[in-house]
Structure 1
């Protein structure tokens, strides 16, 4: 379970993208008190959405999902965390997810609408090559892409077809399939976002449409996945029905009066013993205890948050605070984590942009 022991004082900055106004909001987080201070807002561009921080914490990449999809690169100024626009690069599609590999050599994107995953080389000066090293056509609605802790394997949440894709990453930036390139997830689960255990042994996958977390054991030699645990995080008392796959036709749910499971983001604590995911319909966060050795999950609770339709969530570097963004909230907030049961107490807040969708935490 997360310890409340506070680490030595450090400057922690938080960046939140908001699609409706095309902004990146820049905050300072006090890791001792949980207080949030809005420092600045920076214009990123049309429909600024997923973000990724370079491993050396010097660059922030932001995907713009407008009519000309591209990534915008900001330099993160040492000491102040100030963002400085330094370049833009076309993207092969409108990306729902952005990440770098563990070495900072490649930028990955997953396109929900275009059903693809792309790999673009990152140059020594942190600029991104326009021509992809690889464009992988996926099944319906690729929603996430990440490299494992060893940086040898790449996993993709394929929401529309209930698969987790598995590939080997080569030095060239190319991808090759592991055991046919995919493993079947639970039917109608909608594999969405991913999280890796700190010890590198397990991959945790959130089901958008069933509100369950599935743990997969990663074969350390081949990268092949095998399911090891699965727990539902939405209790019957929530009165939420099975979710449905959403796209441009039904994303707002206006023609469907049934309250349905609509899970969004999953995060593991820095020590790997606590896992949360957000659920948008009920504006809540579910908590699990995690056994780092076995990967087993124990459901702890289902906690409401004030941020309406919570999208991204993030742990502070010291593991004491959970940061929550709301797609329909005017505030961005921090929550104190109870080390015994994972329950949340709202502690800090600050003004936020419209339609907050992504959080990145940088400790300098």
Structure 2
């Protein structure tokens, strides 16, 4: 991988699996006109930094270390290459796959141990080594994938008062309060059961904040839920498939995104190696599959919108690249616009 130097503008950061040949946390400049990525540096100090999140202020990037021990690392991202800030901090959970900033904490979803860890953030953006660990309980009907809890994603709600944790192993979304009396660490608030065997992986909120769309990994479905931020209740109201009727290729959806105007929804689908395009109506409760397009690589682990909502970026783990797509503003259909080689890519975030 070659690096380029240039003036700092908008930047993207790519997570990758070092155990599969990835370069760790990869930094890239973003061309404002074309969306093209140009790598400026990488940091391979931390094992398997599979998911990333910018800390407040824009100078620090946080990353999970998706290992059996499980940790969070902080990087200074003001230079061309990310620079590790101190030692990674243990989360006291196995295999963290996702993290988010919520209530003054960095919160991780620990897939291997089926738990959520909350670590206070210091003033300099680094995590404190004193996590609160919240353990999930239960199982699902798939004996291989759902013998116990497997937290896969953590997402603050649009108000910042709640935290939602998507658990593949228990077919559930756990809801935590971030504004409970006596402290700002997440406090258990409720749990929503989803259709058995769907294996929920990730969710995305509608920009209006009234609905959430939960993507299943074990069944290629999108469950539509109403969200009441005041009561902290997530209520399923329906769903749709993320692959066309009659599809025969085994499909394992991964990432989901909703357009800033609330008209479209996109889902990455592994196996099928596609991006599903769905249209949302005025009720926000009836996603309609419009089409699917090739993801541009193999095994799309995640997808994300750029900050303007004009492009989609897809991290293709097994083909080792990041592809980006221009989005048709009328139809929502992505058109491939470019590709960056990036071994074992797992996610893309912007700062």
Q: Deviation per CA, 1:153-200, whole angstroms, max 9, x where unpaired?
A: 11111111211112212362443333xx21111121111101112222
Partner of 2:174: 165
Question: Does the CA-based 8 Å contact 2:61-2:75 persist in structure 1?
Answer: yes
Question: Does the CA-based 8 Å contact 1:22-1:47 persist in structure 2?
Answer: no
Residue 169 of structure 2 aligns to a residue whose secondary structure is helix
Partner of 2:92: 92
Residue 161 of structure 1 aligns to a residue whose secondary structure is coil
Question: Does the CA-based 8 Å contact 1:308-1:328 persist in structure 2?
Answer: yes
Partners of 2:319 and 2:178 in 1: CA distance: 38
Q: CA deviation at 1:136?
A: 2.9
Q: Is residue 298 of structure 1 aligned with residue 288 of structure 2?
A: yes
Judge which range, 21-30 or 158-167, deviates more.
21-30
Judge which range, 341-350 or 148-157, deviates more.
341-350
Residue 156 of structure 1 aligns to a residue whose secondary structure is strand
Q: CA deviation at 1:122?
A: 0.6
Change (3 A) 1:74 1:316: same
Question: Does the CA-based 8 Å contact 2:40-2:80 persist in structure 1?
Answer: no
Runs of at least 5 residues in structure 2 that lack an aligned partner in the other structure: 1-7, 139-148
Q: CA deviation at 1:29?
A: 1.9
Partner of 2:320: 330
Which has the higher relative contact order, 1 or 2, with Cα contacts under 8 A spaced 6 or more apart?
A: 1
Partners of 2:247 and 2:301 in 1: CA distance: 18
Q: What does residue range 43-82 of structure 1 map to in structure 2 within 5 Å?
A: 43-77=44-78, 82=81
Q: CA deviation at 1:82?
A: 4.4
Question: Does the CA-based 8 Å contact 1:121-1:128 persist in structure 2?
Answer: yes
Q: Is residue 216 of structure 1 aligned with residue 225 of structure 2?
A: yes
Q: CA deviation at 1:342?
A: 2.4
RMSD, aligned CA: 2.0
Partners of 1:314 and 1:12 in 2: CA distance: 15
Q: Deviation per CA, 1:281-335, whole angstroms, max 9, x where unpaired?
A: 0111101122466444222111112211111111111211110111112322211
Residue 160 of structure 1 aligns to a residue whose secondary structure is coil
Size of the alignment, in residue pairs?
A: 327
Partners of 1:91 and 1:211 in 2: CA distance: 30
Change (3 A) 1:68 1:165: closer
Runs of at least 5 residues in structure 1 that lack an aligned partner in the other structure: 1-9, 241-259
Question: Does the CA-based 8 Å contact 2:92-2:133 persist in structure 1?
Answer: no
Q: Is residue 233 of structure 1 aligned with residue 239 of structure 2?
A: no
Partners of 1:346 and 1:89 in 2: CA distance: 38
Partner of 2:341: 351
Partner of 1:115: 114
Q: CA deviation at 1:67?
A: 4.8
> Normalized against structure 1, the TM-score is what?
0.84
Q: Deviation per CA, 1:74-94, whole angstroms, max 9, x where unpaired?
A: 1221xx664222122112122
Q: Deviation per CA, 1:219-250, whole angstroms, max 9, x where unpaired?
A: 1311111123412111124213xxxxxxxxxx
Change (3 A) 1:134 1:112: closer
Partner of 2:144: none
Residue 297 of structure 2 aligns to a residue whose secondary structure is coil
> Normalized against structure 2, the TM-score is what?
0.87
Q: Deviation per CA, 1:255-295, whole angstroms, max 9, x where unpaired?
A: xxxxx221111112233322111111011110112246644
